[in-house]
Amino acid sequence: MRVGPNELITSDPDFMRKMMAVRSSYIRGPWWKAFRFDPARDNLLSMSDDVEHTNLRRKMAFGVTYLSPLKVSYFKMVL
Residue length, the chain?
Answer: 79
13, 5 contact by CB (below 8 A):
no
Please answer whether residues 33 and 46 qualify as being in contact, where contact means their C-beta atoms are separated by less than 8 angstroms.
Answer: yes
Rounded to an integer, what distance in angstroms lies between the CA atom of residue 50 and that of residue 40? Answer: 19
Look at residue 31 in the predicted model and tell me its pLDDT. Answer: 81
Whole-angstrom distance, CA of residue 63 vs CA of residue 3: 39
The confidence score (pLDDT) of residue 9 equals: 83
Instruction: Single out the residue of 48, 19, 25, 26 nearest to residue 36, CA to CA.
Output: 48
pLDDT digit string (tens) for 21-79?
Answer: 877 888 888 888 888 899 899 888 888 888 888 888 888 877 666 655 555 555 555 44
* Whole-number pLDDT of residue 5: 77
pLDDT at 69: 59
